[in-house]
Chain A
Amino acid sequence: MLPKLQAKIPLCLCWFAASLFAILSGTAPAQDKPYFVTYSQDLEEPGNLEIETKTAIAKPGGDHRYGALATELEYGLRAWWTTELYLDGQATAQDSAIFTGFRIENRIRPLMGEHAINPVLYVEYENTTGADKTVLEVVGHDGESDLAGPNAELRQEHQHEAELKLILSSNFKDWNVSENFIAEKNLGHQPWEFGYAIGATRPLGSAASGRPCTFCAQKMIAGAEVYGGLGDTGALTLRDTSHYVAPVFGWQLPRDMRISFSPGFGLTDTSLARVYRFGLAFELPQIGNWFRRSPREGN
């Protein structure tokens, strides 16, 4: 049994190396910001589908470590309209791995042109359980205590929520600066909760190289984001709210792939001490054409 397994390991390594080489030797992807919580003005290119996984790893005080995964399917319906579906799940150490719900969101640019500040309207419907730990936004009095507890207990709580965001974003020189104002409402009888996210990023290199490259500065983007809760309609306050600061780093890989990483640090007693985020995105260009017959075939 053991020799068989040993023979399999180099085979797997060869397959992995070959796959990595195949990935790294292709064309390059679109330039997206490596934010995990903040949204910029960038929408998906029309006809493109992006599949992205966003992983959050954290350990609430006094509870077990967990890893939460949000899988995002983002499609560009129009140059001014992007729609997304999120599928969330999580695994908690010494507990269980569960599916925690889904989100549907739409982002619309009301102004067609490019301005100093570009507004984007964001509308989301969430159908998740209390066991959702993806922390894709922080609103109201969200805190680490919401993320602690056995999954069996947390999943009993059902959250049907509507979320609105006003995204303001600017590209100035090579910088992107984005501000999000968040209002979330549990469709049960709960008050509106508010939050914010602010981010800034810049590519490490500006000019493109004349040759295809993977490890050059222009393929890497760095920056930071800050996000947190602002209380609710009952108490619009910073008291008992969570806030985080998180450097972000993104690397545009060939073959329309992108990886991103962000260590987040809690700034208040109610915040998680640390949350590590990893992202892997893969873009499928012009998938609408896959199902369309070419004019020659149509004749």
Chain B
Amino acid sequence: MRTTLICVIVAAAALAAGAAANSRWDRVPPKVHARLNPVANKPEAAAAGAQVYRDHCLQCHKESAQGDGHKRPALRSQEIRSVSDGDLEWFLRQGDRGRGMPSWSSLPEIQRWQVVAYLRSIQ
């Protein structure tokens, strides 16, 4: 009985975590999802994005972009590789305050795209 209960709780938690992980990107409007990075494939944009990353993201996601293995997720991941540039720019703008990720809407839009270019360059 006890084992069954634990299994049910673990399965429910896994389902909830999976649903939450999916819903983050499901919330991206289709038009935004399809947006192209205006600075994609420009090496200088990735270098500039690295500077912005260093200024704002490094303190949580670490220099290696591997996060802390706990609350601050790795940015070299299958999840990042599987989403569009538009999704990433949207997520930087929105943040995820419930999980501790601030919104970076105060950064100029072009800097968010530069960060996206940098994230692409390190995958």
Q: Interface size (B, Cβ < 8 Å)? A: 31
Which listed residue (B54, B100, B105, B109) contacts A27, Cβ 8 A? B54
Q: A43 vs B95: C-alpha distance in the bound complex, in angstroms?
A: 12
A174 to B97, CA, bound (A): 22
CA distance A218 to B110 in the complex (A): 11
User: Does A42 lie within 8 Å of B106, measured CB to CB?
Assistant: yes
Interface string of A162-204 (1 = CB under 8 A from B): 0000000001011010000000000000000000000000010
B111 contacts partner chain A, Cβ-Cβ < 8 Å: yes
Contact of B106 among A112, A176, A208, A286 (CB under 8 A): A176
Smallest Cβ-Cβ distance to B71: which chain A residue: A46
- Complex CA–CA separation, A243 to B56 (angstroms): 36
Cβ contacts B83-114/A at 8 Å (1 or 0 each): 00000000001111111111101111111001
Collect the chain A residues with CB atoms within 8 Å of residue B75's CB.
none
Contacts of A174 in B (CB 8 A): 108-109
- Is A94 interfacial (CB 8 A cutoff)? no
Q: Is the CB of A79 within 8 A of B106?
A: no
Q: How many residues of A contact B (CB 8 A)?
A: 35
Within 8 A of A (CB), among B27-79: 44, 47-52, 54-56, 59-60
Report the separation of the CA atoms of residues A176 and B105 in the bound assembly, to the nearest whole angstrom. 10
Given A30-B56, A45-B102, A114-B94, A212-B51 contact (CB < 8 Å): yes
Any B CB within 8 A of the CB of A78: yes
Q: How far is the CA of A36 from the CA of B109 in the complex (A)?
A: 25
In the complex the two chains form, what is the Cα distance from A285 to B106 in whole Å?
18
- Known contacts A27-B54, A30-B56, A31-B106; is-contact A80 B97 (Cβ 8 Å): yes
Q: Cβ of A156 < 8 Å from any Cβ of B? A: no
Once bound together, how far apart are the Cα atoms of A41 and B106, in whole Å?
9
Cα A71 to Cα B106 with chains together (Å) = 24
Residue among B60, B98, B103 having the largest count of chain A Cβ atoms under 10 Å: B103
Cα(A116)–Cα(B44), bound, Å: 31
A78 touches B100 (CB 8 A): yes
Q: How far is the CB of B32 from chain A (nearest CB, A)?
A: 12
A210-B47 in contact given A79-B100, A114-B103 (Cβ < 8 Å): yes
Knowing A207-B108, A210-B48 touch, does A30 contact B55 (C-beta < 8 A)? Answer: yes
A46 vs B99: C-alpha distance in the bound complex, in angstroms? 10
CB distance from A134 to the nearest CB of B (A): 25
Q: Judge whether B106 and A78 touch: CB under 8 Å.
A: no
Cα distance, A29 to B114, chains bound together (Å): 17
Assembly CA distance A40 to B94 (angstroms):
16
A171 touches B106 (CB 8 A): yes
Q: Is the CB of A43 within 8 A of B55?
A: no
Q: Is A109 an interface residue (CB 8 A)?
A: yes
Q: Which residues of A sit under 8 angstroms from B48, Cβ to Cβ?
A: 207-210
- Note all chain A residues with C-beta closer than 8 A to B59: 45, 285-286
The answer to whether residues A31 and B97 also contact, given A46-B102, A209-B51 and a CB cut-off of 8 A, is: no
Q: A3 → chain B, closest Cβ, in Å?
A: 46
Instruction: Determine whether the beta carbon of A207 is less than 8 Å from that of B106.
Output: no
Which residues of A are interface residues toward B (Cβ below 8 A)? 27-33, 40-43, 45-46, 78-80, 109, 112-114, 171, 173-174, 176, 203, 206-212, 218, 285-286
Instruction: Report, nearest first, the 9 A-B pairs whose CB atoms are least far apart.
Output: A210-B47, A79-B97, A206-B108, A208-B48, A28-B55, A171-B105, A80-B97, A174-B108, A112-B97
What are 26 A-B contacts defined by CB distance under 8 Å?
Answer: A27-B54, A30-B56, A31-B106, A33-B106, A45-B59, A46-B100, A78-B97, A79-B96, A79-B102, A80-B98, A109-B97, A114-B93, A114-B95, A171-B106, A206-B111, A207-B48, A207-B108, A207-B110, A208-B49, A208-B52, A208-B110, A209-B48, A210-B44, A218-B111, A285-B59, A286-B59
